[in-house]
Structure 1
């Protein structure tokens, strides 16, 4: 699988509610999917949980899953500093493995979406460790 995009999502759950990768896995199974569609989940306290293995095609952006990895921030539009620190670490690791991959938000690939409710490209330029 050739990875050309690293896509940031949000769970669109209340900002004060902590959700786990297992919770999302169950929700996605209830939708008759094969399980969690994201490769990583970042909880409110910054804990990074694994979703699908990276070698498995994701199910997070229709039309783009075959060549992307997805990470999901828990919350709707107010993310914690710990979450942003973890997001930076996840994306930095992925960029080390896939240096040509573009970093973007779900909304950048689907104009009907607002997820993750911030400009990922702008955030990455200002805050990345690279």
Structure 2
């Protein structure tokens, strides 16, 4: 088994008003020359978690970090006008939180980061600041995933 010390969160960089299935993602990655989806997991808008790549296999999602990371992508990341935005549904937030907790149990001590957090530290001050991001993906601070409040339970009514 690979040594894992990073859980890298991505967005699919697709508009919130458009459907982008795991099959669309796989097809796009194959067109780019990948051997399949570059991510290990994909989270659909309805919260479904799709396993795309075996954990034993290095991903193709964060150059320079694939050998020791797990790639998790959520559907969306662009608003209705095609601008980067946190478009996660409550279902996606919940599924992402559950998946990250499960992976941290299996890979204790791993850091949870967004793809943008792996950008180069251009001013060498020890922080990756917004002006240094290569891209805004995943359009939210990945370190806060476990801090998000749980979504309301629609089955529970006052």
Q: TM-score, normalised by structure 2?
A: 0.77
Corresponding residue of 2:33: 32
Structure 1 consecutive aligned stretches of length 4 or more whose deviation exceeds 2 Å: none
Which of residues 79, 82, 97 is equivalent to 2:88? 79
Corresponding residue of 1:88: 97
Whichever of the two has the greater Rg, that structure is 2
Shift of 1:22: 1.7
Residue deviations 1:16-42, cap 9 Å, x none?
222222211110000111110000000
Which of residues 80, 105, 114 is equivalent to 1:105? 114
Alpha-carbon distance between aligned partners in 1 of 2:141 and 2:67, rounded to the nearest angstrom: 23
Unaligned 5+ segments in structure 1 are none
Q: Which has the higher contact order (CA 8 A, sep 6+)?
A: 1
Correspondence 1:54 to 2:55? yes
Unaligned 5+ segments in structure 2 are 78-84, 120-132, 151-158
Shift of 1:10: 0.1
Which of residues 127, 136, 143 is equivalent to 1:114? 136
Two-structure CA RMSD over aligned residues (Å): 1.4
User: Which protein is richer in helix relative to its size?
Assistant: 1
Q: TM-score, normalised by structure 1?
A: 0.93
